[in-house]
């Protein structure tokens, strides 16, 4: 592999890591909600208000409320 291949690989991995982290966070949150619902035997309604940041190469570009 030459240098350009490593650069492209780095860019692709850097672009995919935030999406992977977000999916992992959502899965963990859903798992905890389901465990709580099972323990109590009722539905749980949540309002999650968090500020997200969009970044490129770990440089924050913009923030928004998700």
Q: In this predicted model, what pLDDT tens digit does every residue of 3-44 receive, in sequence order?
A: 999 999 998 998 888 889 889 988 999 999 999 999 999 999
Residue 45 has pLDDT above 70, yes or no: yes
Output DSSP code: residue 66.
Answer: -
- Tell me, what's the pLDDT at 7? 92
Block residue for tokens 């672009």: 15
Q: Which structural domain range is residue 17 located in? A: 3-65
Residue 65 has pLDDT above 80, yes or no: no
The mean per-residue pLDDT over the stretch 48-66 comes to 72
Query: Which two three-digit tokens encode residue 30?
Result: 């859903």
Look at 64 and 11; give whichever has higher pLDDT: 11
**51: exposed, middle or buried (Cβ count in 10 Å: 0-12, 13-18, 19+):** exposed
Number of domains present in the structure of the chain: 1
């Amino acid at each position: 592999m030459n240098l350009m291949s490593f650069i492209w690989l780095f860019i692709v991995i850097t672009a995919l890591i935030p999406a992977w982290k977000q999916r992992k966070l959502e899965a963990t949150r859903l798992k905890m909600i389901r465990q709580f619902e099972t323990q109590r035997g009722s539905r749980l309604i949540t309002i999650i208000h968090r500020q997200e940041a969009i970044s490129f190469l770990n440089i924050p570009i913009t923030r928004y409320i998700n």
